[in-house]
Amino acid sequence: MKISALLTSAGINIGLCVLFLSLYSVLRKQPANVRVYFGRRIAEEHDRLRGAFILERFVPSTGWIVKALQCTEEEILAAAGLDAVAFNRILVFSIRIFTLAALLCVFGILPLNYFGQDIHHVRIPSESLDIFTIGNVEVKSRWLWVHCVTLYIISGVACILLYIEYKHIARLRLLHLTSATPKPSHFTVLVRGIPKADKESCSDVVDGFFTKYHSSSYLFHQVVYKAGKVQKIMTGAKKAYKKFKHFTDETVDQGCRTITYRCCLCGASSNSFKLLNTECEQNRGKADNKSILDLDDEECTAAFVFFKTRYAALVASEILQTSNPMKWVANLAPEPEDVYWSNLWLPYKQLWARRIATLLGSICFMFIFLIPVTFIQGLSQLEQLQQRLPFLRGILKKKYYMTQLVTGYLPSVILQIFLYTVAPIMMLFSTLEGPTSHSERKRSACCKVLIFTVWNIFFANVLSGTVISQLNVLSSPRTYLSSLLKLYLDRKYVLRMREDTEFVPSFPYHTEVPKVLLFGLLGFTLSVLAPLILPFLLVYFCLGYVVYRNQLLNVYRTRYDTGGLYWPIACSTVIFSLVLTQIICLGVFGLKESPVAAGFTIPLIILTLLFNQYCRNRLLPLFKTFPAQDLIDMDREDERSGRIDEIHHGLHSAYCQFPDTVDVPLEKIEIVGGDEEQGSTSGESSGKETCEDPKKDLSHPTLKGLPVNRLRHAVRSVTFLIRLQKRGLSEQKIG
Amino acid sequence: MKISALLTSAGINIGLCVLFLSLYSVLRKQPANVRVYFGRRIAEEHDRLRGAFILERFVPSTGWIVKALQCTEEEILAAAGLDAVAFNRILVFSIRIFTLAALLCVFGILPLNYFGQDIHHVRIPSESLDIFTIGNVEVKSRWLWVHCVTLYIISGVACILLYIEYKHIARLRLLHLTSATPKPSHFTVLVRGIPKADKESCSDVVDGFFTKYHSSSYLFHQVVYKAGKVQKIMTGAKKAYKKFKHFTDETVDQGCRTITYRCCLCGASSNSFKLLNTECEQNRGKADNKSILDLDDEECTAAFVFFKTRYAALVASEILQTSNPMKWVANLAPEPEDVYWSNLWLPYKQLWARRIATLLGSICFMFIFLIPVTFIQGLSQLEQLQQRLPFLRGILKKKYYMTQLVTGYLPSVILQIFLYTVAPIMMLFSTLEGPTSHSERKRSACCKVLIFTVWNIFFANVLSGTVISQLNVLSSPRTYLSSLLKLYLDRKYVLRMREDTEFVPSFPYHTEVPKVLLFGLLGFTLSVLAPLILPFLLVYFCLGYVVYRNQLLNVYRTRYDTGGLYWPIACSTVIFSLVLTQIICLGVFGLKESPVAAGFTIPLIILTLLFNQYCRNRLLPLFKTFPAQDLIDMDREDERSGRIDEIHHGLHSAYCQFPDTVDVPLEKIEIVGGDEEQGSTSGESSGKETCEDPKKDLSHPTLKGLPVNRLRHAVRSVTFLIRLQKRGLSEQKIG
C-alpha cells in the first residue's frame, strides 16, 4: 500500500462525503422528505413547504450544519435525552483527544518515523505507507523515548478528559433525576418470581407480602399478565373493530345496550369495555369471585408494586427480600413507555439460563463470523484477490488506479454487507435474554455489538493474518474507516427512505456507539505506531459530530432512555483501548530492543488500570443505583408542596399493560354488544362485577384476576355481530 | 516411579501417622499439655490430673477418636461456630465424593488402564506407576467411553452433593441468624468516608446526617478514633501498670485522690480513669468544650451507627447514601469481638488502592515463589538430585530403598518448609488490604493462600516441568499428600508446644481450608486419569475428618466467625476442579483419538458451568446479605416480647474501641495519680468534664473528642511515680 493508494481512497471518500452532504442539504428541504429528516419535529411543526416549488430548495446549503453546531447541550438533553448527551460527549471526547494525538503524532512522531532509517526517500506520493510507521524506526534507536513520552501524554490526557466527562455525565444524571417532573418509575418496583399459592390468587399473595413487610410504604400493586394469550385476544378485538368501523353508527345504534364486562387487564375499574382504551384506571376494590381466577396460577409471574416514596421503592429494590433469592426479586421499574411488556411475564428462574444461552449463542456467532472476515482479509491482498475473483484480473492489470480502488475499497464494502447482519442478530439475542425494558435491551445489544466488533474486526482480522501482514493490517484499517465515512451517511438516506414514514425510529445507539468506539480503539492503537491515520480519523469524528447532532435533534424520537448508561460502556472501552495500545507499544519497544521505553511503559499500564479502578469506585455506582440522599430530599420536597397525593393518584394509570388498545375507540364496540352478550354472561357474574363498592379501601386497590374467558367471549360476540352485519342480517334483526 | 517406591512412601507415612496418633493419644492425657490440647475447654474444666502419676496416661487410646466421630453437628456449631461446620462439611463432602470416585475408579478404571495395552505384566510391586494411568490405554481404544461415563458420574454426583451441602449451610446460616440471641452487629452499621466539616465536629456531622436521612430508625452513634496514637498510649499505660502492680497497695495508699480524668476513648462517661476498664458505658451528653476537639478533624474516619431495628441497619448498609459513592459508605458492622480496630481508621478512599497494591504484591510473590518450586521440581528427578546435592550420590548408589525415600520424600519436605512462609505472608497482605474484621482478614488470606497454592503447587509445578515429565507430575502428587499426611499432625504438636500456653488460638482456616481443597483438586484431576491416588486420598480425608473435628472441639477457641463464608470459596474451588478435570480429560481423550469421548465431555463442561451459575443465583446471595423478611420477623418478635429496649440498651456498651485495657485493673492506678495530676490539668478543663448533666438526651449520646494529651499526661505521671517507687523515694515523699 502506497501513499498514492491511500490518497486515492481518501479522495474517493472525501468526494462521496461532499456529494452526500450536498444531497442531504437538498433532500432535507424537499417537502416529501420532511417526515424522514424531521421525524421528531413533525408533531410540532406543519409541513409548510409542501407543494410550492422554490429554487432555493435545490441549492445545497450549510445552515443545518451551523444549527447542529450551535445547539447547546441543554437543547440536546431536552430534545433527545441523556443518552444523546452521553453519545455527544463520546464524540466530543474523541475529537479532543485525537486533536491532541494528531498534533503530537503528526508533528512529533511522523518525522521521526519517516527519517527513522538512513535510506533514500523517493517522492512522497510513491512512498510505501510503512515508511510512516514505527516499523521504519531503527532497532535500538535512541529516539524511541519520544514515542514513549507521546504515549504517556496521550494516555494521561485521555484519562483526565475521561474523568471530566464521566463526572459531567454523572452530574447530569443526578440533575436529570432531581430536576425532572416526578416519574412514576421512581415510585415503582417490578417484582418477579412471585411464589405460587394454592389457595390465594397471585394478587392476594403480592398484597399480603408487601402489606406484611413493607406496610409503612406500600401503596398498591398491579399484576402483569402473561402477554401471549391476552395479547392475542386483544389483537383479535382490534382487528374485529377495524373491520367493524366501516359500518356507520346508525345501522346498529338502535336498541343496543352496553356490554357490562369489566376490564381487569390493566386495572380498568369500568363496568364496560369502553374504559379500557380511554384510561387505565385502577381497580376500585377486590373482586370477590374466586372462580374466575383459575388462570391466575400460571399467568402471574410479575407485578408492579407502587410505594409511597421514592426512597421506599429504592429500598425495596435493593434488599434481598426473602431467604430464596429467586423469589420476590424486586428491581426499580423502567419508565412506563420503556417497559418491554412481552418479556415481563417470563419466569424469573428462566432468566439466568436465558442469559447463559444467549452468551453461548453470541460466542458461537462470533466464531462463525470469522469465516467471512478471513475471506475479506484475503481480499485485501491483491494476489489473493485476483485468484479468488478471476474476472477482475483483466481490469486490474490494465489500470493502476483501478487496482488501488479495488484493494482499498472492495473488501470494506463486502465486510460492511456482512456487518449489517450483526446488529439485528445481536438485538435478537438481547431480546431472548429477557430484558424488562427497551432501553436495557438496546444497551445489552450495544455491548454485544461492541464486543463482537472489537473481537472480529480488530482481533480476528489481526490474528487471522500472518505474522508478517499483521503490522500491515494494523496500519491500514482505513478500509473500514473510509467506507464508514460514507456509509453511515448514506445509510441515513437509503434505509430511511424505505421505512414507514409514519414511524419515527429511536436512535440506534446499539450500532452507532460501537462504531464510534471502534474508531477510537483504532485511533489509540495506531496513534503512536502509524500516526498517518489520525488526521483522517479526526475528520471522521468531526463529521460524525455534526451529522449525529443533527440526527439526534431532528430525525430520531426519544421514546426511552437509559439515563446515560452508555457512558460507562464507552469509558471502559476507551480504557481497554489505552491499555491495549500500551501493551502493543510495550511489544514494539521490546522488538526495537529499547529496554528504557519498554520499561517505562509498564508503570503506565498499571497507572491506567488504577485509574479505571478509581472510576469504578468513584463514579460507576452512580450509574447503577440512585443516591438515597437525593431521593429522600425529593420525597420531602413533594411532601412539603403537597404534590405527593397527586403523584400517588397518577401512579394508578401509569403502567398499562396493553396500550395497543388505546388507539381503538372501543366505545363503538359498546354499541354492538347487545342483548346477546348481556344474556350470555349475566347469569355468571355480571352482577358481582358491576357492583363496585366505592367505599372500599382506596389505598390498596388491586387487580383481581383476569377474566380472559369473558373477554374472549366479548371478542367472539363482536366478530359474530360483524359477520351478521356483513351478511346484511343486522338490519333485519334490529328492524 | 514404581509401585514399590509408592508403597515405601505410603508405608513410611502410615507408620508416621500411627506413631503420631499414638503420641497424641498419650500426650493429650499429660497434665502439662492440657492447655495445648484442651485450650478451648480449659476455662470450663479444672486440671484435675495435674501431678498424679497414672499408668493409663502412657497407654495410647482411641477414645478421643470415638468422641470426635460421635459429636453431632449441633455440638460443633455450639462449640466452634458456623465456620467449623462449613469446614466439617467440606471434609464430609470430600469423603463422600472420593469414596464413590475410589470405588468407581479402582474397580472400573484401574483394570482398564492396567490391561490397556497388550504387554507382558511383571510382578505388581515392580510395575511402573504409569501402567495404572490412562497413559497405558491404547490410542483409539474402544474402552475410553468407560472413562467418559465415570467422569459424568463423578461430576454429576459431585454437583448434587455440593448443592445439598450448599443448601444445608445456607439453611444453617439463616438458622444461626434467626435463632441466636440478639447480636449488636445486626443493629449496627459501620460508616466510613465521613466527610470533613470545618465548623462541626465529626460526631456532629454523623449525627446530623443520620438524624436527617434516617430519622425514624437512627438510634445513636459511636465515633472510631485513629488507633495508632491512642493505642500506643494505652499500651504504655498497661505496661506501666504491670510494672507497678508488684508494689503493694499499702505503700502508696495514703493520701492519694482519684484522677478525675474522663475517658472519652470508648465512650466511658466516668469522671475517673477507673471506668474505662470496668465497662464501656455511653457518654451521657455532649462535651461543650470545642477546644479539645482539635484532633478530631484528622482522626475521625469511621463511626459505628446504631439503629432501632435490624431491618433499618440492613437498609442503611445496602443503599448508596449520597451522590459521592466514596462518602458515607455504610456496611453492616462486624461482631464486636470480630472488629479489627487498627484498620477501622484507615481512610476509605485509600482502600481501593490498598486492595490493588496487595493484589499486585500477591501476584509478584506468586511469581517469585516459582523459583523454589522449580528447584524442587528438579529434585524429584533422581539424576538432577544427584547433580545438585553431590554428597547424596554415595548413599543413593548403595541402597535402593534410600533412593526411593529421597525421591519420594525429600522434595516434599523442602517444599513444605517453603510453604510455611506462605500463610503468614498472605495474612500480612490481607492485613494491609484494610479489612475491618478479623474474620474478613482470615477469609481474604484464605482466598489468597488458595489461589497461591493452586497456582504454584499445581500449575507452576506442571508448567515448569518439561512436557514429558508433565504426566509424571500429575501422577505423583502424593509427594505433597504423603508429607502432609504427617505434617498437618505434627504441626499441631511441634508448633503448639512452642506457643504461649496462655493463648488459645483460633482455628487457622486460612491454611487448612486451602489444604483440604487442594487435595480435592488433586483428587478430581487424577481420579479418571490415575486412579491409584484415590485410596490414599480417601485415607487422608478420613484421618483429617477425625483430627480436625477433635481440634475444633477441643483445641481452638472461636473468637470470631464469618458465618459460613468459607463454603462459597470451597464450592467455587470444587467446581473449578471439576471443570479443570473435564478439560484435562477432553485433552487426553483428544490425544487418544477418541472423538466420541471427547465430544461427550464438552456438554459436561457446559453443564457444570451452568450448575455453578445456578448456585451463584440461587444460594450465593444468602452469603452476601441477610434476607429482609427474616430480619423484619425478628424485629417484630423482639418488639412484641418487649426485649427491644433491653437490646437497645445493650448497644451502648457493645463496641469498645480499646478493650485491651479491660484486663488491667486500673482502679489501682487511681490510687496513684495524686495531687500532681490534679494540679496540672484542673486549670484546663477538668471542671467541664466532670460536670456531666444526667438529664441530657439519652437517645443520642455521642463521643465528643479525644483528650489524648491528657491521657498521655496520665500515663507519664504513672510511669513517673513508678520510677519514684523504684528509687525508694515514694515512702519518703508520702511519709
Question: In this predicted model, which residue has the larger pLDDT, B451 or B481?
Answer: B451
User: DSSP letters of A368-400?
Assistant: HTHHHHHHHHHHTSHHHHHHHSTHHHHHHHH-H
Tell me the helices (H) and strands (E) count for chain A, helix number first: 33, 4
Distance CA B33, CA B20 (A): 15
What is the 8-class DSSP label of residue B437? B
Chosen from A171, A191, A305, A315 to mutate, greatest number of chain B CBs within 10 A: A315
Out of B170, B321, B614, closest to residue A352 by CB = B614
Q: What is the mean pLDDT of residues A133-157?
A: 86
Distance CA A386, CA A377 (A): 13
The model carries a pTM of: 0.74
User: DSSP letters of B325-378?
Assistant: TTSSEEEEPPPGGGB-HHHHTS-HHHHHHHHHHHHHHHHHHHHHHHHHHHHHHH
A320 CB within 8 Å of a chain B CB: yes
pLDDT at A344: 83
| Spatial CA neighbour of B365 closest among B296, B448, B303, B285 | B448
Distance CA A137, CA B98 (A): 61
Task: Give the model's confidence band at A151: pLDDT under 50 very low, under 70 low, under 90 confident, else very high.
Answer: very high
Sorted by sequence, the CB contacts under 8 Å of residue A194 that are 6+ apart come out as A202, A205, A206, A300, A301, A302, A303, A327, A328
Strand order, beta sheet including A188-192:
A218-224, A302-307, A188-192, A329-332
Could you give the percent of chain A with pLDDT greater than 90? 15
Residue recorded with cell 534410600: B402
Distance CA B604, CA A460 (A): 28
Window 141-180 of B: residues touching A by CB (8 A cutoff) are 170, 174
pLDDT over threshold 60, residue B276: no
Q: Do B622 and A323 touch (CB under 8 A)?
A: yes
Residue A218, φ and ψ in degrees, nearest 5:
-70, 135
Per-state percent for chain B, helix, strand, coil, to nearest 5: 70, 5, 30
pLDDT in tens, B72-98: 888 888 888 889 999 999 999 999 999
Out of A326, A617, A629, closest to residue B322 by CB = A629
Question: In this predicted model, which residue has the larger pLDDT, A10 or B142?
Answer: B142
Q: What is the mean pLDDT of residues B617-634?
A: 90
pLDDT over threshold 70, residue B361: yes
Query: Are B548 and B492 spatial neighbours (Cβ–Cβ below 8 Å)?
Result: no
Q: Do B630 and A323 touch (CB under 8 A)?
A: yes
Distance CA B628, CA B631 (A): 5
Q: Do A314 and B319 touch (CB under 8 A)?
A: yes
Q: Do B628 and A213 touch (CB under 8 A)?
A: yes
Show residues of chain A in contact with B352, CB under 8 Å: 613-614, 617
Nearest-neighbour CA in chain B from A537: distance (Å): 35
Q: Do B320 and A614 touch (CB under 8 A)?
A: no
Q: How many residues make up chain A in this entry? A: 735
Show residues of chain A in contact with B619, CB under 8 Å: 325
Out of A321, A324, A630, closest to residue B628 by CB = A321
User: DSSP letters of A501-521?
Assistant: TT--PPP-HHHHHHHHHHHHH
pLDDT in tens, B135-156: 777 788 888 888 899 999 999 9
pLDDT in tens, A212-256: 898 888 988 888 877 565 566 666 666 666 666 555 444 444 433
Show residues of chain A in contact with B321, CB under 8 Å: 627-629
Question: In this predicted model, which residue has the larger pLDDT, A462 or A729?
Answer: A462
Nearest-neighbour CA in chain B from A161: distance (Å): 19
Strand order, beta sheet including B302-307:
B218-224, B302-307, B188-192, B329-332
Distance CA B102, CA B648 (A): 55
Helix extents (H) in A180-226:
202-213
Residue recorded with cell 425529593: A634
pLDDT at A655: 85
Query: Are B441 and B334 spatial neighbours (Cβ–Cβ below 8 Å)?
Result: no
Nearest-neighbour CA in chain B from A624: distance (Å): 10
A315 CB within 8 Å of a chain B CB: yes
Distance CA B535, CA B529 (A): 14
Q: What is the mean pLDDT of residues B1-24?
A: 70
pLDDT at A12: 72
Question: In this predicted model, which residue has the larger pLDDT, A315 or B675?
Answer: A315
Question: In this predicted model, which residue has the larger pLDDT, B222 or B237?
Answer: B222
Show residues of chain A in contact with B170, CB under 8 Å: 323
B357 CB within 8 Å of a chain A CB: no
Task: Give the model's confidence band at A370: pLDDT under 50 very low, under 70 low, under 90 confident, else very high.
Answer: confident
Q: Do B323 and A630 touch (CB under 8 A)?
A: yes
H or E, element range at B303: strand B302-307
What is the 8-class DSSP label of residue B505? P
pLDDT over threshold 80, residue A356: yes
pLDDT over threshold 50, residue A291: no
Q: What is the mean pLDDT of residues B415-432?
A: 84
Residue B2, φ and ψ in degrees, nearest 5:
-110, 170
pLDDT over threshold 90, residue B183: no
Nearest-neighbour CA in chain A from B601: distance (Å): 17
Distance CA B315, CA B319 (A): 6
Show residues of chain A in contact with B210, CB under 8 Å: none
Task: Give the model's confidence band at A93: pLDDT under 50 very low, under 70 low, under 90 confident, else very high.
Answer: very high
Show residues of chain B in contact with A326, CB under 8 Å: 617-618
pLDDT at A392: 63
Cβ-Cβ contacts under 8 Å between A and B: the total is: 92
The three cell numbers locating residue A663: 388507539
Q: Is the dihedral of CA B236, B242, B243, B245 positive or negative?
A: positive
Lowest mean pLDDT among A48-62, A197-211, A470-484, B366-380: A470-484
The three cell numbers locating residue A674: 347487545
- Measured from the Cβ of residue B374, the count of other Cβ atoms closer than 10 Å reads 15
Q: Do B356 and A626 touch (CB under 8 A)?
A: no
pLDDT at A442: 92
Show residues of chain A in contact with B627, CB under 8 Å: 320-323
B353 CB within 8 Å of a chain A CB: yes
- The complex's ipTM works out to 0.73
Lowest mean pLDDT among A6-15, A38-47, B32-41: A38-47
Question: In this predicted model, which residue has the larger pLDDT, B572 or B258?
Answer: B572
Sorted by sequence, the CB contacts under 8 Å of residue A469 that are 6+ apart come out as A381
Helix extents (H) in A592-681:
595-618, 621-624, 628-641, 644-651, 667-681
Distance CA B286, CA B557 (A): 39
pLDDT in tens, A684-709: 333 333 333 333 333 333 333 334 44
pLDDT over threshold 90, residue B165: yes
pLDDT in tens, A103-140: 998 888 888 888 877 766 667 666 666 777 777 777 88
| Spatial CA neighbour of A617 closest among B355, B440, B313 | B355
Out of B213, B324, B619, closest to residue A628 by CB = B213
pLDDT over threshold 80, residue A426: yes
Q: Do B632 and A326 touch (CB under 8 A)?
A: no
H or E, element range at A188: strand A188-192
CA count, 13 A, side-chain hemisphere, A135: 16
Q: Do B325 and A621 touch (CB under 8 A)?
A: yes
- What is the rounded average pLDDT for all residues in chain B? 71
Lowest mean pLDDT among A202-211, A448-457, B235-244, B721-730: B721-730
Nearest-neighbour CA in chain A from B213: distance (Å): 7
pLDDT at A34: 59
pLDDT at A215: 87
Distance CA B30, CA B50 (A): 8
Question: In this predicted model, which residue has the larger pLDDT, A233 or A331?
Answer: A331
Task: Give the model's confidence band at A612: pLDDT under 50 very low, under 70 low, under 90 confident, else very high.
Answer: very high
Burial of B187 (0-12, 13-18, 19+ CB in 10 A): buried
Sorted by sequence, the CB contacts under 8 Å of residue B251 that are 6+ apart come out as B725, B730, B731, B734
pLDDT in tens, B563-618: 889 999 999 999 999 999 999 889 888 888 888 888 899 999 999 999 999 999 88
Chosen from B179, B307, B318 to mutate, greatest number of chain A CBs within 10 A: B318
Show residues of chain A in contact with B353, CB under 8 Å: 610
Nearest-neighbour CA in chain A from B721: distance (Å): 52
Window 600-659 of A: residues touching B by CB (8 A cutoff) are 606, 609-610, 613-614, 617-622, 625-630, 632
A336-339 contacts: CB < 8 A, separation 24 or more? A336/A184, A336/A185, A336/A654, A336/A655, A336/A656, A337/A559, A337/A560, A338/A185, A338/A437, A338/A438, A338/A439, A338/A559, A338/A560, A338/A561, A339/A436, A339/A437, A339/A438, A339/A655
Question: In this predicted model, which residue has the larger pLDDT, A84 or B660?
Answer: A84
Which residue does chain A place closest to B354, by CA atoms? A610
Q: What is the mean pLDDT of residues B635-644?
A: 88
pLDDT over threshold 90, residue A97: yes
User: DSSP letters of B69-105?
Assistant: HH--HHHHHHHHHHHHHHHHHHHHHHHHHHHHHHHHI
pLDDT at A720: 53
pLDDT at B386: 65
Task: Give the model's confidence band at B253: pLDDT under 50 very low, under 70 low, under 90 confident, else very high.
Answer: very low
pLDDT over threshold 90, residue A164: yes
Q: Which residues face B331 on adjacent strands?
A: B190
pLDDT in tens, B390-412: 666 666 666 666 666 666 666 66
Out of B315, B356, B618, closest to residue A326 by CB = B618
Which residue does chain A place closest to B635, by CA atoms? A213
- What is the rounded average pLDDT for all residues in chain A? 71
pLDDT in tens, A631-660: 898 889 888 988 888 888 888 888 877 654
Left, alpha or beta for B285 (phi > 0: left; psi -120 to 50: alpha)?
left
- Measured from the Cβ of residue B596, the count of other Cβ atoms closer than 10 Å reads 12
Chosen from B319, B327, B637 to mutate, greatest number of chain A CBs within 10 A: B319
